[in-house]
Amino acid sequence: MNRDSCWRELRQSAEALKPRHLSEFLADETRFEKLSFTHDGVLLDLSRHRFDCRTLDRLVQLAEASELRTAISDLTEGRPVNHTEQRAALHTALRTPPGQRVEVEDENVIEGVHETLNKMESLVATLHSGQWRGYNGEAIDTLVNIGVGGSDLGPLMACHALEEFKPDAAQGIEIHFVSSMDGSQLAGLLDRLNPATTLFVLSSKSFTTIDTLANAATACQWLIDASDEPRELLLKHHFIGITAKPEKASEWGIPLQNQLLFWEWTGGRYSLWSAIGFPIAVAIGMSGFRQLLAGAHSMDRHFRHADFHENLPVLLALAGVWNINLLDIHANAILPYDGRLAHLPAYLEQLEMESNGKSVRSDGSLVEQRTCPVLWGEIGPNAQHAFYQLLHQGTESVMCDFIVPIRRYAAQSAHLQEQHRLALANCLAQARVLALGDKALDDEGADAQPPWKRYRGNQPSTVILVDELTPYSLGQLIALYEHKVYTQAVIWEINPFDQWGVELGKKMATQMLDALEDPDSNEALDSATRGLLDQIRKRREPA
C-alpha cells in the first residue's frame, strides 16, 4: 500500500473512531495487554489513546509505506540525512561500542568517538583527583558550563536528573550552568564564586553563538580583574572549549590541549552524548557517562531491529501522528512525576520543536498537514496545582506524556518512600481522570453535578515507566524521544536536523544592536520598531 492509500484509510478510521469516548476503549479488559510494550525495562503504555489495534496496524503500514526501515538505515549508517546541510546525523554513532564501523567519507567515525571519550576520561580524572589547578595552584572545585540550546539543555537536564549518582571523587565539585544572553545567571554566580578555583567549560558547536561568547567574555574579564594575571595564562588554567570548530576556539584563545572536539555530523540538540556531555561525565563519573551511552545504544538497537509493531520509538511516534494528523490535537504536555526530571520538558521542547517545527518538505514543497505540536511541560505533581485545570476542563485537546520510575528511595527513609508512592498514585490518578473524566470515580452522582464540576475526560495520554531512574534508563528515555522525532519527520517528509528558522532573528538582532545606538539607521525600519527604539533611547539614561 502506498502512503496516500494509508492516509486515506487512516482518515476513514478516524471518522469512525472520533465519536468514541476513551472510556469505551478502556472497557476492553485486554487493552493494556494489547497496547503496552516493553523493551529492556522501559514500558510504553499506549492504552489511553483513542485508537484500536486495527488502527495501530494501519499506522504501522504508514510507517512502512514511508520507507522508515530504509530511513533508519540511512540515519544509523551515516548517510547525509540532513540534506540541506549535506551531512549525516550520527548521534547513534556516539553511543556505539568500540570495534564497530560506521563510515563518513571513508573514515570510521567510531574510532574518533572513542578517542574523544578517552580524552574526556583523562580530563575528568584530572579534575576528580584535584590535579587541575587554577592560576594560583589551588585545585578546581567549581565548574561552570557556558552554552545555550543543545550546548546547555542536555547536560543541565542530565546533571540534575542524575545528581544521586555522583561518585565520591566528584563530591567536591560544584557544577553550574549559564546560558542566558542577558548575563543574569552569570552576574549572580560570579558574585559567589572563587575565581582561583573555577573552571569554565565553553560549549558551542559553532563557536559563534553570541549568547555564549558574551557570557564567556564576561567570565574571562572577571578572572582577569580578580587575578591580575594575563589572559593567556587564565585561559590555560580556567577554560575548556568544547566545539566542532577547533580553529575558532583557538582563535578565541583556548589552547589545543584544553579542547574537546566533536563533529559537524553531531546535531546540537543531539549532542549530549558527545564531548558536550563533559559536565555530565564530571558529575557522575566516566563510568556513569558510559552507562548513559549504553542505555541509549540499547534503544538504538531496538529502534533499528525491532518489528515496528513492537518498536517503542516507532509506536510512540505513531501515536503522536494519530493525535496530530487524524484527531487534530496540537499540544503535547510532558509531565515527569519525578522532580529529578525537572529539566526534561525544556530539553524535549528543543529536541522536538527545533527538529520538527517545519512546514517545508525535504523536496522543497509545502507540507499538506500539521507537523510538530506545541510541547511544554513541568514536573507533573507541581503542574497539577497550576495548568492541569486546562487539561481537565479547558477547550484544548492535549496529549500528555507521563513519565515515572517505579522504584525510588530504596535505601532511604520510609517517609521518602511514601512520598514516591504518593507521586505514583497521582500519576496514575491523573492519567485515569484525563481518560475517563467523571466516570473515573464510578460515582453515580456525577450527572447531578453542576457543569463547572464535570470532567469530560477523553484526553489521550502515554505512560512511560522505567524501573528506576539511572544513567542507563535516562539514556534509554532520551534515545526513545530522539527516534520518535526522527520517525515522525520521516512520515511528514521533513528534515529534522536543520534549524534554518532560527537564523533570521540572529541577523536582525545584529541590525537592532546598531539601531539602538544610531538613530540615523532607523529610517528603513517599521513604525512599531522605531517607536520602541525611541522609547528605549529616551528612557535609557537614568533620570
Q: Footprint of ligand F6P on this chain (CB under 6 A)? A: 148-151, 204-206, 209, 212, 268-269, 354, 499, 502
Q: What residues form DSSP beta bridges with 260?
A: 242
| Burial degree of 364 (CB within 10 A; 0-12, 13-18, 19+) | exposed
Q: How far is CA 506 from CA 61, 66, 209, in A?
A: 41, 35, 9
- Which residue's CB is nearer to ligand F6P, number 205 or number 290? 205
Q: Identify whether 354 is a catalytic site residue.
A: yes
Query: Nearest to residue 339, comparing CAs of 174, 469, 473, 170?
Result: 469
Closest CB 137 distance from ligand F6P, rounded Å: 32
Query: Nearest to residue 175, comparing CAs of 127, 227, 234?
Result: 127
The residues, any chain, with a CB within 8 Å of residue 182's CB and separated by 6 or more, are none
Give yes or no for a contact between 283 and 145, defined as CB atoms under 8 angstroms apart.
no
Selected catalytic residue, list 349, 352, 354, 378? 354
- Cα–Cα distance for residue pair 153/159, rounded to 1 Å: 10
C-alpha cell at 237: 588554567
Closest CB 147 distance from ligand F6P, rounded Å: 6
Q: Identify whether 385 is a catalytic site residue.
A: yes
Q: Phi first, then psi: give them for residue 258, nearest 5 degrees.
A: -100, 15
Closest CB 61 distance from ligand F6P, rounded Å: 34
- Which residue's CB is nearer to ligand F6P, number 148 or number 383? 148
Per DSSP bridges, beta strands 174-178 and 142-146 are parallel
Per DSSP bridges, beta strands 461-466 and 42-48 are antiparallel
C-alpha cell at 510: 545584529
Closest CB 376 distance from ligand F6P, rounded Å: 18
Q: In 3-state terms, what secondary structure has residue 183?
A: coil
- Which residue's CB is nearer to ligand F6P, number 354 or number 438? 354
- Which residue's CB is nearer to ligand F6P, number 507 or number 540? 507
Cα pseudo-dihedral 52, 54, 58, 63, rounded to 10: 70
Closest CB 3 distance from ligand F6P, rounded Å: 29
Sheet strands side by side (includes 174-178): 174-178, 142-146, 198-203, 239-243, 259-261
- Which residue's CB is nearer to ligand F6P, number 164 or number 503? 503
Q: Phi first, then psi: give them for residue 60, nearest 5 degrees.
A: -65, -40
Closest CB 149 distance from ligand F6P, rounded Å: 3
Selected catalytic residue, list 33, 105, 247, 385? 385
Where does 336-375 have alpha helices with state H?
344-348, 355-356
- Which residue's CB is nearer to ligand F6P, number 421 or number 506? 506
The residues, any chain, with a CB within 8 Å of residue 492's CB and separated by 6 or more, are 356, 358, 361, 367, 369, 371
Closest CB 209 distance from ligand F6P, rounded Å: 3
Where does 129-230 have alpha helices with state H?
153-161, 184-192, 210-227
- Cα–Cα distance for residue pair 519/513, rounded to 1 Å: 11
Closest CB 505 distance from ligand F6P, rounded Å: 9
- Which residue's CB is nearer to ligand F6P, number 425 or number 509? 509
Catalytically annotated residues: 354, 385, 506
